[in-house]
Amino acid sequence: MSNQSLYLGYVIYSFEDLRNDPKPLLQLFSLLNRQFGGQLLNVIRVSGVAATETGSSQFVSINRRELYEYLDDGLISKLQSHDGQTVRESSILLRIVINSFSDDVYSPSFVFFAFTKGHEAFSSDYVAERGLETAVKVFEILNGAYGYANAGMLTNDGFIPKDGQAQFALGLVDFGQLATTPSIRDEIPDIFWANLLSGRHVENIGGVGRVLTSVDCYRKEQLGDGGALLVLCQDPFAAPGELNPSVLESMVKLLEDSTEASRDRLVETSLHAVAQAEELQLQYRQVGLRKLEQHVQKFDEDYLKVGKVPRNHVWRPYRFCTQDVVLGLTVVSHSPDRNCLEVDVCLTSDIPEYEDGSGARVMASFLLSEAYKCGGSMEIRFTENVEDGRVPLALIELATQHQVQLSYIAEGKITPSESRRLYTAVTDFSPSLRSRIEELANQRRLSQEKACFVVQRGIWTKAELEHLVAGSSRADAILGGDALPEQRQLYLNDLGHARAAVMGGFLDRKMAKRQRGDEVEAVDLEDDVRPLEIDFDEHYYAKAYRSTEALPIPWVVNAGTHLAVVPSGSQAVILIRARDTIDLKHQLADDLALARQMKELIVPQDPQSQICILVPRDFEDLPKPDSERLEAEAQHLGIHILVCPETSTALNTDAIRRMATSRITRE
């Protein structure tokens, strides 16, 4: 108790856009200053001053003039104020959290203000009445959705400890569900000492008359907006057992009845909303198809018929198909004035035979890749022809699925930071690769969107990208093809890592492909691949393969008909050594020694694992005595040498092509 103090607090939730309209907050500050003797805002501490990005938890001190400037600019996401250095020394505490995303109607802002004096002060009618009077006025100013008052415990830093939860509350519904369940807005989240219900709450419950007559409590009155105030007992510090049972019974009955009615209304409203949404989407589709036809005709006349290639600033139509099925249609152009990608048509379809949202995923991948390719800021803007100038519903649902918040849906805009987050999400990196990319991006050593782009455009696979990101200190330069042959040392360094990644990619595909047929005839089935987990060990420059089924190891030297197989659950760890004949002759022995060290670490923990070294076909050009000596040493150590069917020259050619493609792709 030494570092805690009692409080009587009031919480008001609001769905108003307080970030873009600070007037209610300015009125709130004025009201609280009048009510509490002008002492409330002597000390102001604010967090989240850096606009709409995720706010910092670090509080910084500002004066009142700066506070008003930040409010006018919409820069505050959290605010805390009290009239002393610690809560224990102060008498008033104010905390505000402003919803940063005005389009997310299920994430409310809230205002919390509290008295922090002794128990005797709380039990006085004066303090309780003054607090309730202020709460009602704050409720009206903020157009509150729900409010409550309760007593509890605060730490000196102004936070509620786990053992200091509300002393009196009947928690029928968790208010946290309000963030995900629309129907919860029709119900009262909890029964507290005092409850402020909005006009909508009251109407959904059955009207103000029913509320006031059916609840048996200490105080009840109608509010100006058609809402109601219900106070359960006189003393806010009363224990639940001290409350008249009839009060709880009447409140519970009211909630149970309103919950059932809310469910019925929700079903009816949902069916109507679905029908309206489908009709609206049909209208949007018709508008989009007409606009697409106009663009296709113009594009055909201006470019296809005359054999010209359009520049990025020209409206360009695209369609995305799998066989004869269309997943998406779009028309895009780069806007030099706004430095963003503009979209004039954006139509997607969900095909029953494919995973839900496939059309939206394909569309998002293309738009984000195109935004990067055109060299803009990664911002995407939708014209009035796309769902009346809003971000398309399919993309909103995709972003929500990946927990990417879009802040400007109504304005038809996806900001650069939102695009980067969505791009990373739809590219679907493994957790380890995503973490590594984000770490390097924070250190400004790698561009996240560049990493996404090279995968989306098929320049590098995800496993090859992980190889480059983890195995090289110049991943960003390799992915962008930055080094030129004239920069000999840098270029050879990048080429060496790229060549190794290409060879590793050959192995990835071979390991994933299932072997069908018998010794006489092989059967090749399309997309017949085994589930494969691939990791990269940057210390040993090695790949680790795991599968839920037996995993044959290919290309083993002198294996004959006896294939090495890794059982399900074990791993094959393969050192990637893309060396030419000369380097193999001088360095493969050292690689075998390193593989032996790895085996001594791994095999005791996983006895059925296999340790291997992958080399190019240049191994076959080694002098016979050298190759036999290396094979004998590998056999003695229990290590397999795998010979890739490609030579180092062929691997170089492929690596050079990919680096050149990366260099010239972005315009």
Predicted confidence (pLDDT) per residue in 197-235, tens digit: 888 778 777 788 888 888 888 888 898 888 889 888 888
**Of 233, 266, 299, the domain-final residue:** 266
| 217 backbone dihedrals φ, ψ, rounded to 5° | -140, 175
Number of domains observed in the structure of the chain: 3
Residue 52 is predicted with a pLDDT of: 38
Q: Check whether residue 547 and residue 500 sit in a common domain.
A: yes
Residues 413 and 542 in one domain: no
Give the list of residues 6+ apart from residue 68 with CB closer than 8 angstroms, or none.
Answer: 26
In a domain, 289, yes or no: no
User: Which comes out higher in pLDDT, residue 47 or 282?
Assistant: 282
- Residue 470 contacts by C-beta under 8 Å, 6 or more apart in sequence? 436, 536, 537, 538
Task: Provide the pLDDT for residue 465.
Answer: 96
**How confident is the model at residue 405, as a pLDDT?**
87
Whether 305 is covered by a domain: the verdict is: no
- Does one domain contain both 131 and 11? yes
- Count Cα neighbours of 601 within 13 Å in the Cβ-side half-sphere: 8
Pair 252, 329 in one domain:
no
Q: Dump pLDDT digits (tens) for 233-271.
A: 888 877 666 777 788 778 777 766 665 555 555 566 556
What digits encode the pLDDT tens for the residues 28-44? 888 877 776 555 555 55
| Most confident stretch, 102-111, 155-164, 225-234, 326-335 | 326-335
Please report, for residues 20, 56, 410, 622, the alpha-carbon distance to residue 407 in angstroms, rounded to integers and kept in the order given. Answer: 12, 18, 9, 61
Mean pLDDT of 454-479: 95
Task: Give residue-wise pLDDT tens across range 604-636.
Answer: 999 999 999 999 999 999 999 999 999 999 999
**Number of residues in the chain:** 667
72 in the same domain as 23: yes
pLDDT tier, 281 (very low <50, low <70, confident <90, very high otherwise): confident
Between CA 103 and CA 407 the distance in angstroms is 6
Instruction: Tell me the three-class secondary structure of 26-72, residue by residue.
Output: HHHHHHHHHHCCCCCCCCEEEECCCCCCCCCCCCEEECHHHHHHHHH
Indicate if 256 and 318 belong to the same structural domain: no
- Domain membership flag for residue 342: yes
Q: Which of 157-161, 356-360, 635-639 has the lowest mean pLDDT?
A: 157-161
pLDDT at 192 over 60: yes
Tens of pLDDT, residue by residue over 12-32, are 988 887 777 778 888 888 887
Share of the chain above pLDDT 90, in %: 48
Answer yes or no: is 560 within a domain: yes
How crowded is the C-beta side of 609, counted as CA atoms within 13 Å?
Answer: 23
pLDDT digits (tens, 9 = 90+) for 164-175: 555 555 544 433
The DSSP element (H or E) to which 661 belongs, if any, is: helix 648-665
Q: Do 212 and 257 belong together in one domain?
A: yes
**For position 58, what pLDDT does the model report?**
56
Judgement on whether residues 548 and 631 belong to the same structural domain of the protein: yes
Q: Is residue 480 part of a domain?
A: yes
Distance, in Å, from the CA atom of 453 to the CA atom of 435, rounded to the nearest integer, reads 17
Q: Tell whether 506 and 609 lie within a shared domain.
A: yes
* Structural domain harbouring 608: 459-651
Please check whether residue 291 lies inside any domain of the structure: no
Is there a domain that residue 273 lies in? no
> Is residue 70 located within the same domain as residue 166?
yes
> 494 and 422 in one domain?
no
Domain end (from 247, 266, 285): 266
Question: What is the pLDDT confidence band of residue 163, given thresholds at 50, 70 and 90?
Answer: low
Q: What is the pLDDT of residue 186?
A: 45
* 246 inside domain: yes
- What CATH number does residue 375 fall under? 3.40.630
Based on the domain organization, do 478 and 404 belong to the same domain? no
Of 11-15, 233-237, 297-301, 426-430, the poorest mean pLDDT is in 233-237
